[in-house]
A and B are shown apart, each in its own frame.
Chain A
Amino acid sequence: MGEVMLQVADLAVTFRRGGDAVHAVQDVSFSVAQGESFGIVGESGSGKSTVLRAICALAPTSAGTIRLRDAPLATPRPARFFRQVQMVFQDPYASLHPRHTIDRVLSEPLAIHGFDRREERIERALEEVGLGGGFRFRYPHQLSGGQRQRVAVARALILEPEVLLLDEPTSALDASIQAEVLNLLDRLRAERGLTYVMVSHDLAVVAHMCDRLMVMQHGRAIEELSRAALAAHRAETDYTRKLLSASEGYTPAEAS
């Protein structure tokens, strides 16, 4: 394994409102090597997306540390951080501004970070995600779900980050489109040596995309296992076994 790219230690995220406290994430630790693809699996409310959001400081970190290339991260995150780490969100229908053209969506991050040769970068980014220049001046409503998600990937990659945080990147897409987007992500990782942290509720998607994965339940990491262990159904905890059998499809009755 290469150099450690991202290290999360004893992370806790607590949301407070009035007297209530919701412990969304508790004592989560993991590290991801450079060029590795790491998966986080869990059901809704398990805190898996909150972990990604905490890395980007979109959720408040109440305890623990997050280190990128062995340097602790400052809050709020400096602009430099977003050139290294970018995020792709779940719903391509909600994550693209409906009244901005694709060109504007892609040129905004370039302008913010003061990149040069913007024209060229936009053309290349669209080419890389398999859309081509013809899509440049369209609006999101003129694109299909799969095409929108490609734009979201292009927007994340246009800053040439090293780490991509993927929050359920294909769960809003049809199976055939999902395969295309997964292939695209796989190819980009191989070509650019990217590091992925991918969140999904779909074990099969994570098994396909990730070298290692962590299972979360009720805000805690309950198990970490390798792709090979998952493929061989060698799970340590009951919960992971339950997830595994549920994702195989429907079974009429079992003692549950």
Chain B
Amino acid sequence: MTSLLTIEDLRITFPSRQGPSEVVRGVSFTLGRERLGIVGESGSGKSQTGRAILGLTPPPGKATARVLDFDGTDLRAASAATWRRLRGARMSMVMQDPKFSLNPVMTIGRQLMEALKFGASETRAEARTRALAMLEAVQIRDPERVFRAYPHELSGGMGQRAMIAMMLVAEPDLLIADEPTSALDVTVQVEVLRILDRLVSERGMGLLFISHDLRLVSSFCDRVLVMYAGRVVEELKASELTQAQHPYTRGLMNCLPKIEGGQRPLPTLERDAAWAR
């Protein structure tokens, strides 16, 4: 498989009063045209890893890497013009909460059209048709209404789908989805995942799926990276998650309650200081 994205030794540091604190400490992986999951708890560095790929590490944070390569482009030395060409058109990101990531004073339609403006040269009418078709593709029943609506007029699930439409309308090669379904109901979640799945299998998009939900990731992705304290502690095939070796991965699996019933009390995760080293 040709790799779309290659990362070696990614490190992200934030200055703090106690000196620089490293939140991502030497993460390496490659992503082809597949579904790769990154799982970890809050603070494990999974979201920062995703942001760094798009050059969106919030200041004063600094991201450094030995290799950070997207389809032949070295992202470490990318100029502002290069970033403009890549972001939106070739790689984009779906954030967790539509409430904070959509522009509240622009209609959904205008935001979608804005995403298209940087893409192919086409007329306004063509762009509009494409935007409406994309809204329909993310299972929005009444695309005309949503096109005219402001973000506050939509429910959480609708807003999230509108945002996914916005990210996908330019047909990127790489999509970084940071907890794209955590704010959604389980039944809507499945629909959104089907859309992403179709894009990977039909259009050959690369998907980096960041989530805290191990059960979901293992059923959706091809491969899973498990992060703990800024490091990848284990990489495995999603289908082989039950045979995970690392005690952290196993702990995460075991502490989930099961519908079929199970142990009571639930096993809790005993953290070992050695995992973070």
Contact = CB atoms under 8 A, between A and B. Distances in A.
Contacts, number: 98
B181 to A, nearest CB: 10
A204 B257 contact: yes
A44 B265 CA distance: 28
Interface string B243-277: 00000000110011111111011111100000000
Given A250-B219, A252-B197, A175 B256 contact: yes
Interface string A203-237: 11101110000000000000000010011010000
Contact of A175 (B155, B194, B197, B214): B214
Interface residues of B, number: 38
A103 to B, nearest CB: 27
A207 B256 CA distance: 12
Given A250-B193, A250-B220, A251-B219, A244 B259 contact: yes
Interface size class of chain A, counting residues whose CB lies under 8 Å from the partner chain: 35 or more
Given A208-B258, A231-B259, A251-B219, A179 B266 contact: yes
Given A183-B265, A250-B220, A204 B212 contact: no
Listed residue (B213, B219, B255, B257) with the most chain A CB atoms within 10 angstroms of its CB = B257
B179 interface: no
Interface of A: 43-45, 145, 174-176, 178-180, 182-183, 186-187, 201, 203-205, 207-209, 227, 230-231, 233, 242-244, 246-253
Task: Name the 7 nearest CB pairs between A and B, nearest first.
Answer: A249-B219, A208-B257, A179-B255, A43-B185, A176-B269, A246-B186, A250-B220
11 contacts: A44-B156, A45-B155, A179-B269, A183-B268, A186-B264, A204-B256, A204-B259, A207-B259, A230-B259, A243-B187, A246-B189
